[in-house]
Structure 1
C-alpha cells in the first residue's frame, strides 16, 4: 500500500460524522444553485456541499489525491435540490467506507442516482406539495385573507428546508442499507408513483375550486326559459373549467411551454371580450 493510501486510510478511520458537519453541509447547500451553469450545471454546488466532509477526510492526503477528489465532484451533476441531501449523505458514507483505489465508483453511483432522485423530487414537491400549499393559500387569498401568500411561502419552505436538514442524516445512516438491500429502484418507483397520483388528485381539486367559467346565456320562450349553464351542469358540473384546463394543457404540451405568456394573455383578452358581450 502506498503512502497516499495509508494517509487516506488513517483519515477515514479517524473521521466521525458530527452534528457540526451536518450543519455545515446544510448551510453550504443553501447556496447549491448559485453556481449553476450550462456546462456542468450543479457540479460546483455539489462540491461545495460536500466540502465539510472532504476537507476533514482528506486533511492529511497528498495534493494529488485532493485534486482527484475535487475533479470527481466537479463532473456534470444535476438533480432535485431538495432531495439532493439524501444523495450527499450517501456519498459522505461512501467516502468514509470506500478504499481510495475504488472511489472512482462513487461517480457512477452519483450519476446513476441523480436521475431517479430528480424525478422523485419533481413529482413529490412541484406536482404534489407545492400545489397543495398553493391551493390552500389561494383559497385564503380569494376570500380576502392577506395571509394566503404568506401561508404558502412559509409552509412550503418549512417542508422544503426540513427535508434538506434531515436528508443528510438519513442519506448517511440509511442510504447504504437501502442500496445493499437491492430495493432502491422499487422504493423510488413506489414513492414517485404515489406522489404522481396524489398530485393528479390535487390538480383536479384545483381545477374545480379555482377555475371558474360559466355561461350566463338564457333563452326564453313564452313563460319558459332555458339557462345554458344549468344544462351544462346537468351533464357534468365544472365541465367548462375542465375543458379550459384541458385546452391549456394541450397547448402547453404541444409547444413545450414556449407559448405560456401568449396563452395567458390570450385567455385574458378572450375572457374580457366574451364577458363584454355577455357570453361569459
Structure 2
C-alpha cells in the first residue's frame, strides 16, 4: 500500500504541457550542431519538475537530454512520449538511467526520421497541396485556406495522438511504425500519394514546343507539337518530369540547381525557337 502511495505518476496537465512545448518549440535554437536538442530538452522540463521536486535531482536528470537529437518533428513526437514514460519509470526506481534513454533516442530518431520524411513530407503534404491547387483554379483563395486549416489540424491532433500513444505504450508504440503493419500502411499511402502527384502533374504541368518547319514557299510542312500529340500526347511534359527525377534521384542534384537548369534550358529553347513564351514587347 505504501509503495502505491509513493509511486510517481505524470498527470494529464503535465503531459499536455510537455507536448505543447515540443509542438511549438521542436526547432527552438535550431543549429547544425544541436538540431532539435534544445526543443527536446524544453519539452522534458515539465516532466522532470513533476517527477523530481528536488532541484539537484532535476539537474542530474536533465543531463540525459543534452545529447544531439534530430528526427522528423511530426512523427518524432512519439519519441518524446516514450521518453516521458521512461523518465516516469526511472523516477519510480526502475532499472533505467540516462544512458538507456539516450540509447533509445539514438536508435529511434534515424528510422523515425526516414519514415516521417517519406510519409509526411513526401506523401501527405503533396496530397494536400495537390488538392489545394485544384481548389485554387482561377485565383481562388479557397485552396490556400483549405491547406492551412487542414494541415494545422492534422499536425496538431496527429502529433498529440502520437505523444500520448508513445507515453501509454512505451517502446511498443514504435512497433507499429517500423513493423509489418506500419510498412503496409506506408505502402498504401505512398500509392495514393503517387496518384495525386500524377494528377497534379497532368493538370498543372504543360510543356509544349512551338517549332515549325517551313518549306521554300513559306508554308509549314511540319508542326512538331501536332505530330507529338498524335503519337504521344504530353510527351514533352513526361520527358521533362523524368529528367527532373533523374537529376534529383539519380544524380543527387538539389531542387534549386534543378530549377536553375530548367531556366537555362528554357532560355536556350526560346533563343533557338523551340519554345515560345508568348511574350510581346
TM-score between the two structures when normalised by the length of structure 2: 0.80
Asked whether the 8 Å contact 1:123–1:199 carries over to 2, the reply is: no
Asked whether the 8 Å contact 1:12–1:97 carries over to 2, the reply is: no
Deviation of 1:150 after TM superposition, in Å, equals 2.4
Aligned residue runs from structure 1 range 172-211, under 5 A: 172-178=167-173, 184-211=178-205
Asked whether the 8 Å contact 1:72–1:107 carries over to 2, the reply is: yes
Show CA shifts across 1:18-39 (max 9, x none).
Answer: 1x22331232111110211222
Select the residue among 117, 122, 137 that pairs with 1:122: 117
Asked whether the 8 Å contact 1:252–1:259 carries over to 2, the reply is: no
Asked whether the 8 Å contact 1:128–1:195 carries over to 2, the reply is: yes
Aligned residue runs from structure 1 range 106-255, under 5 A: 106-178=101-173, 184-216=178-210, 228-253=224-249, 254-255=251-252
Quick one: structure 1 residues 170 and 265, their matched pair in 2 at CA, closer, same or farther if it must change by over 3 Å?
A: same
- 1:266 is aligned to 264
Select the residue among 70, 83, 86 that pairs with 2:75: 83
- Larger RCO (alpha carbons 8 Å, 6+ apart): 1
Quick one: structure 1 residues 227 and 272, their matched pair in 2 at CA, closer, same or farther if it must change by over 3 Å?
A: closer
Query: What is the aligned-residue RMSD (CA, Å)?
Result: 3.2
Distance in 2, matches of 1:107 and 1:10, equals 28
Quick one: structure 1 residues 214 and 83, their matched pair in 2 at CA, closer, same or farther if it must change by over 3 Å?
A: same
Select the residue among 253, 256, 275 that pairs with 1:256: 253
Of the structure 1 ranges 262-271 and 195-204, higher mean CA displacement relative to structure 2 is found in: 262-271
Aligned residue runs from structure 1 range 24-103, under 5 A: 24-29=17-22, 30-60=24-54, 63=56, 65-98=57-90, 99=93, 101-103=95-97
Deviation of 1:235 after TM superposition, in Å, equals 3.7
Asked whether the 8 Å contact 2:37–2:68 carries over to 1, the reply is: yes
Number of residue equivalences: 266
Distance in 2, matches of 1:183 and 1:218, equals 55
TM-score between the two structures when normalised by the length of structure 1: 0.80
Of the structure 1 ranges 142-151 and 212-221, higher mean CA displacement relative to structure 2 is found in: 212-221
Asked whether the 8 Å contact 2:21–2:43 carries over to 1, the reply is: yes
Deviation of 1:169 after TM superposition, in Å, equals 1.1
Distance in 2, matches of 1:132 and 1:183, equals 20
Distance in 2, matches of 1:83 and 1:277, equals 43
Quick one: structure 1 residues 27 and 277, their matched pair in 2 at CA, closer, same or farther if it must change by over 3 Å?
A: closer
